[in-house]
Structure 1
């Protein structure tokens, strides 16, 4: 099981280099005025998935760029880290 989790993390990291994700990421940053939606800082910004989606039948995860913008939010590195420490990211089967 741990091996599969590590494999999924590696695939996810590779997907973050995809031009489709980079395009959506820029769209979300612009939508959020290039500011962290939590603290308002304008540096070290990341786009956070507010929940992850997995297909019931196949078990495949959505690609980062396949999410509706509603499920994405701009946060700074610090708020992103602290958010993950405080709250688990919900996983929704679709």
Structure 2
């Protein structure tokens, strides 16, 4: 899936439903480090594998804080939610 199609997919009802379920499962904490953001929207959803994008299950996804998300994608430098957002 190319970048444009992936961004379009992230706006679908299917993705929004999966995202909601993963956030609910996380209980408001990063599923990698346990950090609990003080404000709503502080967690992001990360694909553990991109093999089934569009057909993923809840087990393919984790809720993580922006810092962990950047680390998982190998992004260094300024740690800002703007750098990685899914």
TMscore range, shorter length: 0.7 to 0.9
Question: Which of 50, 72, 78 is the aligned partner of 2:61?
Answer: 72
Deviation at 1:32, TM superposition (A): 1.4
Deviation at 1:20, TM superposition (A): 1.2
- Structure 2 residue ranges without an equivalent (≥5): 76-86
Other-structure match for 1:57: none
Normalised to the residue count of structure 1, the TM-score between the two structures is: 0.67
Normalised to the residue count of structure 2, the TM-score between the two structures is: 0.72
In terms of fraction of residues, the more strand-rich structure is 1
Other-structure match for 2:12: 18
Equivalences, count: 71
Other-structure match for 2:72: 83
Q: Distance in 1 between matches of 2:71 and 2:51?
A: 22
In terms of fraction of residues, the more helix-rich structure is 1
Q: Distance in 1 between matches of 2:6 and 2:16?
A: 13
Secondary structure class of the residue paired with 2:35: coil
- Structure 1 residue ranges without an equivalent (≥5): 55-61, 87-94
Aligned-residue CA RMSD (Å): 1.8
Larger Rg belongs to: 1
